[in-house]
Amino acid sequence: MDLLSGIIKNYYYMVAIILFVIGMYTMLTHANMIKKVIAMNIMDTSVFLLFVAIGYTYGGQPPIIKEGSEAIYVNPLPGALILTGIVVAVSVTAYALSLIVKIYRYYGTCDYDEICEIRSQE
């Protein structure tokens, strides 16, 4: 019963793990490069969720310190790191998609296996 209540109380850790596994599975099993970029974004999102969940404190207040207050505060550092991570993830996604557009224009496909076949025939 303790294990079940612990899992229910910390469900966001399980959600982060499940999202990461879905992204990893998609990265490994699909040859389409656009699907790989989407899978990479799913994995990024799971890591962001995990970091935010680690920084959360039950009953915590925003970290605005008032005199005479002995409240429990939420750690602001994971949130700040995640904002930076989101910017980097969006930049990497935009760059990857621009490369995929160039590859599609050159080879006529976004499928990695087909590109390997085309390159082996040259």
CB count within 10 Å of CB 38 equals 16
State the pLDDT confidence band at 100, using cuts at 50, 70 and 90: very high
Q: pLDDT (tens digit, 9 = 90+) per residue, 62-97?
A: 777 777 777 788 888 888 889 999 999 999 999 999
Q: pLDDT (tens digit, 9 = 90+) per residue, 20-78?
A: 999 999 999 999 999 999 999 999 999 999 988 887 777 777 777 777 777 788 888 88
Residue 7 has pLDDT above 90, yes or no: no
Region 102-116: what's the mean pLDDT?
A: 93
CA 118 to chain centre: 32
Which domains can be identified in the chain, with CATH numbers? 2-121 (1.10.287.3510)
Residue with tokens 């993830």: 89
